[in-house]
Amino acid sequence: MEFQNSYLNLGKNFYQQILPTPVENPQLLLWNQQLAKTLQLSGALNDDHDRAQILSGNRIHDSSTPIALAYSGHQFGHFNPQLGDGRAHLLGELFDLNKRRFDIQLKGSGATRFSRQGDGRCALKPALRELIMSEALHALNIPSSRCLAVVSTGETVYRDLPQPGAIVTRVAQSHLRVGTFQHFGSRGDTESLKKLLDYAINRHYPEIDVNADEAQKALEFLSAVSNRQITLVCHWLRVGFIHGVMNTDNTTISGETIDYGPCAMMGDYHPGTVFSSIDAQGRYAYGNQINIAIWNMARLAESLLPLLAPEQDAAISKAETVIKQLVTDFTKAYRVMLANKLGFAYSDESDWHLIETFLGLMQSNELDYTQTFLALTQMLNGNRLTEETATILKSWLPDWLQRLGISGSVDEITTKAENHQQSATSIPHEKTDNVTDAITRMQHANPAVIPRNHHVEDILERYQQALLSGKGKQQAQTQLEQFLSVLRTPYCETELTAQFQDAAKDKDKGYRTFCGT
């Protein structure tokens, strides 16, 4: 294991060089073996003791120079010029098997000059939540940071109630944020902005010529980052993920999901779904996430204005062109995503009425988002819809089937498939290939299981209680590992999947998530 430290070359105004604060009794709780293998760490950290010492910050590897990164950010629409890593230390960067560079960061590793009177620590539950949710999103084919390990500290963290402390090791393509560019843009530090732009291009966008004209590469960079936001947020919407705190300091330049504090999953479909306890106005509700992503890209554009053109009006005009195109492209991508969930190869204006009608039926009848799309997928495989779902969708289903090129009534199609007792490709109708293609698209777009909020909370509570009491630790560990094994294969059903597919009995009424700080 040999850390690289490329951030150090940016200059001291980009970070604070500071060691993690040692903890009392670090113990390795969870180790992501698959990720460790990808990062070529299998033989580098020899045992659980070594892993706990290094990944708690108690021991610093010879090649590591820990730093806390500086950045600013808009938090719920209000600009804060001085944020930064208040409870995180970047140990350095490692290369994976494919020669890709990744940051290795400790979260909950102690205070820095960016802590703003915080204790710099992380409680156990938020650390475990980050591991569960990031692994789930990664398996759902959504760009995300990941967790290499969770280490308990043997210390108590004080929030509303005393809680056991933990440190999570986060792995990301980088920790550059929109807020990083805002940090220097808001200060009028054009030289640092140029340096940051070149670093970000070299690290994430090699297709952009870093030696090109400053204005040209800044414009291409803004467009490229915006495109990654389209991909990311449409994936969130595809599976019902609600980030909960889409501040600009949580918006990565790489297009990865980062910061899993108040995140949650939508059960019943409703665009206004929000669970974050700190989002009283619903700014970051499920259905607002596209608009917020566009807003965040406009803030990135503002930071880049000094590089886009010497004259502000010309720079604004260039930025507005990119943002207007982003709005158009986001709308198109969102519609294509929903079309794929319904099995369509493409989406045109005539499809949108069909899609909107379906979403309206789900919303007005409080249908579960994941279960309903999965039921339609399985219906094409010969399974019958539940009586309730079939009744609600009765007037819509014939139009959907016709759009897929499938003839016959719903009952006829499912009955024929059941009688044949064969796969979806054997449903007898005139255009079999249409069904085969539709099922393939739907199976890729619609997971069989998601990290349901009530299951996540149950796992977290059981694990914490076992750790505190010293009783049932092995059982809690097994339950967590079983949950993770199911979440890591979300598009196929295993013998354990059914244990975690059910929606919450109370439909998540009153459910709230917290940021963990």
Is 405 part of any known ligand binding site? no
Cα(27)–Cα(37) distance, integer angstroms: 21
The backbone region for 284, taken as left when phi is positive above 0, alpha when psi lies in -120 to 50, beta otherwise, is alpha
User: Which neighbouring-strand residues pair with 69?
Assistant: 15
Provide the β-strand partners of residue 97. none
Task: Name, in order, each residue with C-beta under 8 angstroms of 487's C-beta and a sequence gap of 6 or more.
Answer: 132, 135, 136, 139, 449, 451, 500
87 appears as a binding residue in the annotation? yes
- State yes or no: 107 annotated in a binding site: yes
Residues 186 and 79: beta-carbon distance below 8 Å: yes
Our answer to whether residue 249 is catalytic in this structure is yes
User: Which structure tokens are listed for 57?
Assistant: 């910050």
- Is 382 annotated as contributing to ligand binding? no
What tokens appear for 40 in the block?
């070529």
Identify the DSSP state of 247.
-
- Known binding residue 244? Answer is no
**Cα(419)–Cα(327) distance, rounded to whole angstroms?**
48
The token pair at 460 is 């977290």
Q: What is the dihedral sign for C-alpha 114, 117, 119, 125?
A: negative
What is the spatial distance between Cα 335 and Cα 129, in angstroms, rounded to a whole number? 31
Question: What DSSP string runs through 206-218?
Answer: TTS-TTS-HHHHH
92 annotated binding-site participant: no
Instruction: Report d(CA 71, CA 192) in Å as an integer.
Output: 12
User: Annotation-wise, does 120 bind a ligand?
Assistant: yes
Cβ–Cβ < 8 Å for 242, 332: no
Q: Which of 85, 103, 249, 368 is catalytic?
A: 249
Asked whether the beta carbons of 196 and 10 are under 8 A apart, the reply is yes
Q: According to the annotation, is 170 in a ligand binding site? A: yes
3-class DSSP state for residue 115?
A: coil
84 is annotated as contributing to ligand binding: yes
191-318-79-115 Cα dihedral, nearest 10 degrees: -40
Known binding positions: 84, 86-87, 107, 119-120, 170, 177, 250, 259
Known binding positions for Mg(2+): 250, 259
Q: Which residues are catalytic, by number?
A: 249
Known binding positions for ATP: 84, 86-87, 107, 119-120, 170, 177, 259
